[in-house]
Amino acid sequence: MLARSKAQQMAAGAALSAKRGERPPGSLKGASKSMYESMSEAQLEEFASTKQKGKPQHKSGH
């Protein structure tokens, strides 16, 4: 699965760094916190590595 927006990709990167112990999990908020709790390190890695070219800053409504 690929990130659908730059914001989603960045949230996955923050969650991934917490999973790896590079930042405290308590510093996460919102989407990155729920991603940290519900996704594996491999899933987060896939989301975080998505290319940003052509992605909107935020996913639209639906």
Residue-wise pLDDT tens digits, 28-40: 999 999 999 999 9
How confident is the model at residue 47, as a pLDDT?
86
The stretches in the chain having pLDDT less than 50 are none
- The string of DSSP letters for 1-62 reads ---SSHHHHHHHHHHHHHHTTSS-GGG--HHHHHHHHHS-HHHHHHHHTS--TT--SS----
Q: Is residue 47 within 8 Å of residue 3, measured between CB atoms?
A: yes
- Tell me, what's the pLDDT at 1? 67
Model pTM? 0.79
pLDDT (0 to 100) of residue 49? 87
Q: How far is CA 43 from the centre of its chain?
A: 9
Identify whether the C-beta of residue 15 lies closer than 8 Å to the C-beta of residue 33: yes
The confidence score (pLDDT) of residue 60 equals 64
